A and B are shown apart, each in its own frame.
Chain A
Amino acid sequence: MLSDGCSFMKGMLLGGVFCLVLSLLGSFNFSPESSTEDHHHHHVYAPTKDELKHLSDSRVEELKNQVRVYCIIMVQPKTLVYWATVLDTWSKHCDNAVFYTSESSKALEAVDLNEKDDWARLRKALIHAYENAGDLRWFFVAQPTTFAIIENLKYLILAKDPNEPFYLGNAVKSGELEYVEYSSGIVLSYEALKRLMTMFKDESQCPERTHTLWTMGEDKQLALCLKYAGVFAENGEDRHGKGLFNKQNVVSMVKQSMQDNPTDVVEGCCPDMAVTYGEMSPNQMHVMMFGVYRLRPYGHDFHDWITFYPPKDSDND
């Protein structure tokens, strides 16, 4: 009987220690970002007015040319309404907007990748974009529930060299991996995409199809492949530290702000130069289109140092 009691106590002690160790490990995982990574910049900002003021005419024209964007919009026939809305709204502001679908649809035109696997489909789309980039040097990957303000994206990357590896958006951490969230849009510079092409040939580090039971989201897969190629995720922010890429839609962000900052709802909520909002319904996209490109208070002007003109053949902007 005594030996039973002793064993029981020993067991209890060991159980307690085991629990402590587990919880410590768990909390260790959630510690703030480690400084072991070799990031050059973790946060990316748009240029200041002073930085732009000193540019010559020709330099401004060069930059405008350099920031032209190739939009990669990943669609599926089952989300046809969103697809049509994106086609009718913000994608018109891309310099080249290409829709990539999992299977062909009779209703709308797209590059048919004929691929059901999400990661394999993204790979194919990126390869196609790289091969058809022409002289465009920046790539923006979006889902049809995302609304993007391309001019604000251009503003963010205006002074960045596309021959440097840039991988931007809403950067979040999962364990040790820092990746850009899919639903708030992914920005890749030409160099980043180029390195990715090389990584795609490496089946061991960057396989086309994962044969594991559980799959990582394709945005994490992308981050991993890019990481092996020496390209790291960076967070696009404004000078107040507000994220410019939002996976939430604007209405839920306003609702949240009404709870968190009841006396300062709008200032505490959303950035003026936001680039993306995710989870947007088609109607919300039409409203945002009007709110961004049409609605304004008379008598307030911004003397921005670059002008972006409205696209041809469009009546809602």
Chain B
Amino acid sequence: MKTLGPRISFYAGFVVGTLTLYVFLRQLWFEKTVSMQQVGTFAGIQDYQQQLEEEKKMWKKERSALFNLKHPHHIGTCTSGHNLGFQRGEDSSMADELYKKVRILCWVMTGPKNLETKTRHVKYTWSRHCNIVVFMSSVDDPDFPTVGLGTKEGRDQLYWKTIRAYHYAYEHYADEADWFLKADDDTYVIVDNLRWVLANHTPDEPIYFGRRFKPYTKQGYMSGGAGYVLSKEALRRFVEGFKSKQCTHTTSVEDLAMGQCMEKVGVLAGDSRDSFHRETFHPFVLEQHLTAKFPKSFWYWSYCYYPISEGPNCCSDISVSFHYVDAVGMYLMEYYTYHLRAFGYRYRYQPPTPPGYRIKKSESWDAGKKDKKLEQKLIHPDLSRTDKRQNEDPPPVDGKDGPPAAEGK
């Protein structure tokens, strides 16, 4: 009993000593990380200032529109200032030529609540490839910047916003662009591919393009969510149409109303499909078009003007737009479109060069020099298998059951 006492004390002391020092060390480590975090927030403030600086270099803010100072194809990223495209061995000469000749003003339908959660990501991704971009909201915001259209917010305001946005674009930028695109803040647009579609036409044609739907109108109308683009002549006629009261605010179903006005003023609903008849404007996300099996009762089947293809033929290699794209999706699409690629891969589909543009040089030293018997396995769409052209009458006009193309903003 007597010898046990000091022993127990010893062990007890050992345990206490270990625990004490452990707690002490943890506290030290904790304090170190807290101080590092404080340094981090300071760096965070510096980052924000750096961000403002970069934005100033990239965009010229003028009258609430963003004018692209440096086309992203010339610089990879603003931070490095390097010509990363050049470093990648990228030849963007055709894209640059189209940028000069096919000038597009993009206006994005948005609202004050969405600026930080959605619109911001549009600003940092695809809208950089437009010649001019204007963010249209109900409220003026000189910092973002957004144009205040003087409307309220809400699904029923969509056509009012559209009318005013296009009037604004016409009044301020008619001479600085040839084509005028409307997109939502959850639409991803590949502007380079839009230029390919439009390069086969001229801005004095009364024509507009998008994902063509067939009901309720003679010539069809374009899905709002997938985005649509008016020629300068189409825009002029739109504005004139409202002046002469030929066009009015018929319904709040924005895309249908636009289609009805276009028809009234004699603007043609164009075919935006590629030379293999694959769609370029898409009302859903890429994943859905590629993998989803829409039930035959789904409205989509009866709305599409052209035959629908499921699987890989759903979508053109040079697709123009996708809808319901969330924030992560914007960056993912940007990565897939402009960054990720397979080295040396020779694409099956070679889009025909638009008339009046110089023909591309041969793509690779290897293909040009060596193989005369190139293995060109170009895929032809199997239209017969997917011809779903309905003969029955389209469903009655009912704003509630319409396609979810016009989202409340």
Contact in complex: B20, A254 (CB < 8 Å): no
Residues A14 and B287 in contact in the complex (CB < 8 Å), given A155-B343, A255-B328: no
Among B18, B193, B367, the residue within 8 A (CB) of A16 is: B18
A126 to chain B, nearest CB (A): 27
Residue of B nearest to A270 (CB): B335
A302 within 8 A of B: yes
Residues A297 and B192 in contact in the complex (CB < 8 Å), given A13-B17, A283-B291, A302-B89: yes
**Residues of the A chain whose Cβ atoms lie less than 8 Å from the Cβ of B287:** 283-284, 286-287
Contact in complex: B95, A23 (CB < 8 Å): no
Residues A15 and B363 in contact in the complex (CB < 8 Å), given A298-B193, A304-B343, A309-B375: no
Residues A19 and B342 in contact in the complex (CB < 8 Å), given A14-B14, A304-B89, A315-B379: no
Among A3, A11, A155, the residue within 8 A (CB) of B16 is: A11
Among A149, A287, A310, the residue within 8 A (CB) of B346 is: A310
A264 within 8 A of B: yes
Among B22, B319, B328, the residue within 8 A (CB) of A19 is: B22
B336 within 8 A of A: yes
Contact in complex: A303, B91 (CB < 8 Å): yes
Bound together, the chains give a CA A250 to CA B335 distance in angstroms of 10
Encode contact with A along B277-301: 1 for CB under 8 Å, 0 otherwise.
0000000001100110000000000
Contact in complex: B344, A155 (CB < 8 Å): yes
Bound together, the chains give a CA A270 to CA B221 distance in angstroms of 39
B359 to chain A, nearest CB (A): 12
B232 within 8 A of A: no
**Residues of the A chain whose Cβ atoms lie less than 8 Å from the Cβ of B400:** none
A172 within 8 A of B: no
Residue of A nearest to B94 (CB): A299
**Residues of the A chain whose Cβ atoms lie less than 8 Å from the Cβ of B340:** 270, 272, 274, 291-292
B246 within 8 A of A: no
**Residues of the B chain whose Cβ atoms lie less than 8 Å from the Cβ of A317:** 348
Residue of B nearest to A5 (CB): B9
Residues A263 and B16 in contact in the complex (CB < 8 Å), given A270-B340, A286-B291, A303-B89: no
- For the complex, count residues of B whose C-beta is within 8 A of A: 92
Bound together, the chains give a CA A219 to CA B141 distance in angstroms of 55
Contact in complex: B77, A302 (CB < 8 Å): no
Residue of A nearest to B290 (CB): A286
Contact in complex: B25, A19 (CB < 8 Å): yes
Contact in complex: A8, B13 (CB < 8 Å): yes
Residue of A nearest to B194 (CB): A298
Residues A306 and B347 in contact in the complex (CB < 8 Å), given A297-B337, A300-B92: no
Contacts of A10-39 to chain B: CB distance below 8 A: 10-20, 23
Residue of A nearest to B120 (CB): A262
Contact in complex: B95, A296 (CB < 8 Å): no
**Residues of the B chain whose Cβ atoms lie less than 8 Å from the Cβ of A291:** 286, 335-337, 340
Contact in complex: A306, B343 (CB < 8 Å): yes
Bound together, the chains give a CA A273 to CA B318 distance in angstroms of 20
Contact in complex: A269, B319 (CB < 8 Å): no
Among B77, B349, B369, the residue within 8 A (CB) of A57 is: B369
**Residues of the A chain whose Cβ atoms lie less than 8 Å from the Cβ of B17:** 11-19
**Residues of the A chain whose Cβ atoms lie less than 8 Å from the Cβ of B328:** 251, 254-255, 258
A228 within 8 A of B: no
**Residues of the A chain whose Cβ atoms lie less than 8 Å from the Cβ of B313:** 315
**Residues of the B chain whose Cβ atoms lie less than 8 Å from the Cβ of A266:** 125, 331, 334-335, 338-339
Bound together, the chains give a CA A316 to CA B286 distance in angstroms of 14
Contact in complex: A15, B346 (CB < 8 Å): no
Contacts of B29-83 to chain A: CB distance below 8 A: 47, 50-51, 54, 73, 76-79
B173 within 8 A of A: no
What are 11 A-B contacts with C-beta separation under 8 Å? A7-B13, A8-B10, A15-B15, A250-B335, A251-B332, A283-B290, A287-B290, A287-B291, A291-B340, A299-B94, A317-B348
Question: Apart from A49-B89, A287-B336, A310-B345, what are 12 other A-B pairs with CB-CB below 8 Å?
Answer: A11-B9, A13-B17, A23-B25, A251-B332, A266-B331, A266-B335, A284-B287, A287-B291, A291-B286, A300-B90, A305-B366, A307-B344
Instruction: For the complex of A and B, list the 9 residue pairs with the smallest distance between their C-beta atoms, beginning with the closest.
Output: A11-B13, A15-B17, A299-B95, A291-B336, A12-B17, A299-B94, A297-B192, A15-B18, A8-B13
